Amino acid sequence: MTHRIDNVPFERLDIGMEASETRTCRADDLYVFANASGNLNPMHLPKEDGDGDGAPEAVAPGMWVASLISAVLGCKLPGPGTLYHSQMLRFPGRAHAGDTLTARVRLTAKGPGRLVTFETWVEDADGMPIVEGEAQVQAPERELHFDADDIPGLTVQRHQHFDRLLALAEPLPPILTAVVAPEEPDALSGAILAAEHTLITPILIGDPAKIADAAEAEEIDLSPYRIIDQPDHKLAAAQAVRMVHEGQAQAVMKGHLHTDVLLGQILKKDGGLRTGRRLSHVFVMDVPGLNHLLMVTDAAINITPDLQTKADIIQNAIDLAQTLGIAEPKVGVLSAIEKVNPAIPSTLDAAILSKMADRGQITGGLVDGPLAMDNAIDLEAAATKGIRSLVAGRAEILVAPNMEAGNMLAKELTYLAHAEAAGVVMGAKCPVILNSRADNEKARLASAAVAALAALGERA
């Protein structure tokens, strides 16, 4: 939709003319202002306690509030072509994230050189003044209009969905977690960070000397943690599996060892952690600009899953989504197109999986497919293709046709869309946390939080 902005040139300005604009101050506005201005005062950051009273303030910066006056002058009165000459400001009140503010201007004088003076103020929803002042601007000489239909937008990286998961998981009792081969700084620090956030109680299985070296590099005190001496990675993974069987561990976390070594012990027919369902990996993703968690599966275990394996992959993801607070997850089964085509086997699988869900062979979620990526996550794209579905455009779980597609999709979201990705393996007797060396602190914490919530769901 075109947003047309018109002006009032100098000759048409009359004393007493007024204009206003109303806007709600969002938490994202405060982050954008902090990045644009460089003002990182914690008083203005939504989640920070800037004055030490134990609660975040989220005070809107005075200059951000004042900038609303600039918006009225530049867009309404006088409008396009206006340039600031001076601005005097007083700040009798404070605004906070969530407040609805109205900026107002009233023309009080016209002078030579097209200089005009405005009384300016910003008030809250109750009419209380937040900013007062006087602006002098150079008004435009001639009538102009501007079509503001191609202004780049902004997406704020907030990781609000992962923050919600942490808030859900941190009050729970920490889960006993067998950490296999935490022998490098990144592997050890991730486990200890999760412990410090009361998500897990780590049991460190590996080479004690290497674990000590990693701890020294990260300045970690190992005295609160149990260490099991087992330098052989295969035997360390087997020890973790035994601890789950013996009730000494409720989750397994991958440290600095090859994934196939760990999964080899978990998948053993005798003594492994198999259940009646195939194991599958789920990426739980916090995508900037998306208003819900997004799950991508399977991206790490099943290379070319057959139909029954895909059904297990979907059921694992649904079960996990429910433990994360999504009551009836919407599952989009992906292919290259959204119509069944016998020449593309993934479209046949998707259609069958949808019918399996209709018949109760997959439970707990809404399943639809085949869907292409665009109409799985974008309502407008789904409407354009004429797809009527409770899932299309709203998918919370994306099921890839094979591991390659799932892995590429998850990494594209991570490295191109700046998403954070937590990873967990489902379908075993306990959650298995698969961290990557490239994961940052937020992703490692989120993986532990997902595992903690999944373990709670399995015990319920």
Residue 1 pLDDT > 50, yes or no? no
Q: Which residue has the higher pLDDT, 318 or 460?
A: 318
pLDDT digits (tens, 9 = 90+) for 361-407: 999 999 999 999 999 999 999 999 999 899 999 999 999 999 999 99
Q: What mean pLDDT is predicted for residues 175-188?
A: 94
- Annotate 403-460 with DSSP letters as a single string: HHHHHHHHHHHHHTS--EEEEEEESSSS-EE---TT--HHHHHHHHHHHHHHHHHHH-
pLDDT at 91: 97
- On the CB side of 18, CA atoms within 13 Å amount to 10
Residue 2 pLDDT > 60, yes or no? no
Residue 408 pLDDT > 90, yes or no? yes
Q: What letter does residue 298 receive in the DSSP assignment? A: -
Residue 159 pLDDT > 80, yes or no? no
Kindly list the structural domains of the chain, giving each domain's residue range(s) and its CATH number in brackets, ordered by start: 4-147 (3.10.129.10), 277-427 (3.40.718.10)
pLDDT at 158: 67
CA separation (Å) from 333 to 53, 90, 294, 367, 397?
A: 49, 57, 13, 7, 8
pLDDT digits (tens, 9 = 90+) for 217-242: 999 999 999 999 999 999 999 999 99
pLDDT digits (tens, 9 = 90+) for 32-57: 999 999 999 999 998 888 888 888 88
pLDDT digits (tens, 9 = 90+) for 54-97: 888 899 999 999 999 999 999 999 999 999 999 999 999 999 99
pLDDT at 437: 72
Residue 250 pLDDT > 90, yes or no? yes
pLDDT at 401: 97
Q: Which residue has the higher pLDDT, 88 or 159?
A: 88
pLDDT digits (tens, 9 = 90+) for 412-458: 999 998 898 998 999 999 999 988 777 778 888 899 999 999 988 75
Q: What is the mean pLDDT of the chain?
A: 92
pLDDT band, very low/low/confident/very high, at 252 (cuts 50, 70, 90): very high
Q: Is the pTM of this model over 0.75?
A: yes
β-strand 226-229 against 115-123: which pairing, if any? unpaired
* Dihedrals phi, psi of 257, to nearest 5 degrees: -150, 165
- Residue 68: left (phi > 0), alpha (psi -120 to 50), or beta? alpha
- Annotate 114-147 with DSSP letters as a single string: GEEEEEEEEE-TTS-EEEEEEEEEEPPSS--EEE
